[in-house]
Chains A and B, each alone.
Chain A
Amino acid sequence: MAYGLYIASFVGAIAMAMMLPRARRSGRGGGGGNGSAARFGMLLGAASLGGVWLWLSEQLLPAAESWGISRPAMVYYYIFSAIAIVAAVRVITHTKPVYSALWFVMVILASAGMFLLLDAEFMAAAMVIIYGGAILVTYVFVIMLASEPGEAGGPGSGGGIGIEIAPEYETVSREPIGACAAGFLLLAVLLSVAFSPIAPNPEAAGPTDAQLLTSVLTDRPAVRLSHITDDPRLAEVMSVNNIDNSERVGLDLFESHPLGLELAGVILLVSLVGAVIIARQQVPLNDPPTTSPTLPTSPEA
Chain B
Amino acid sequence: MIESMHAVTLGHFLMTGAILFVLGLIGFVTRRNLIIMFLCTEMMFQGVAITLIAFSKFHMNMSGQTFVIFLLTVAAAESAMALGLVVLLFRRKRSLDSQVWAQMAG
- Do chains A and B make direct contact within the complex (CB under 8 angstroms)? yes
Chain A residues near B (Cβ < 8 Å): 16, 20, 52, 56, 59-60, 63-64, 66-69, 74, 77, 81, 84-85, 88-89, 91-92, 97, 100-101, 104, 107-108, 111, 114-115, 118-120, 122-123, 126-127, 130-131, 134-135, 138-139, 142-143, 145-146, 148, 159, 167-170, 172-176, 179-180, 182-184, 186-187, 190-191, 194-195, 197-201, 204-206, 208-209, 241, 245, 248-249, 251-253, 256-257, 260, 264, 267-268, 270-272, 274-276, 278-279, 281, 283, 285, 289-290, 292-293, 296
Chain B interface mostly helix, strand, loop or mixed? helix
Nearest CB in chain B: distance from A285 CB, A: 7
Give min CB distance, A113 to chain B, whole Å: 11
Identify the 9 closest CB pairs spanning chains A and B, nearest first.
A92-B27, A271-B77, A252-B62, A194-B14, A169-B97, A278-B84, A173-B30, A283-B91, A190-B18
Q: What separation, in Å, do the CA atoms of A86 and B73 have in the docked complex?
A: 26
Question: Which chain A residues border B18 with CB–CB below 8 Å?
Answer: 187, 190-191, 194
Q: How far is the CA of A174 from the CA of B103 in the complex (A)?
A: 18
Additional A-B contact list (6), CB under 8 Å, known A88-B19, A88-B23, A279-B87: A56-B12, A60-B9, A146-B96, A190-B21, A251-B62, A289-B94
Contact A209 to B74, CB < 8 A, known contacts A63-B8, A138-B83, A183-B26: no
Cα(A289)–Cα(B90), bound, Å: 10
| Interface SS of A by simple majority | helix
Knowing A88-B23, A92-B40, A278-B81, the reply to whether A134 touches B76 (Cβ < 8 A) is yes
Tell me if B69 and A142 are in contact (CB < 8 A): no
Q: List 5 A-B contacts (CB under 8 A).
A: A118-B53, A131-B46, A200-B60, A271-B76, A271-B77
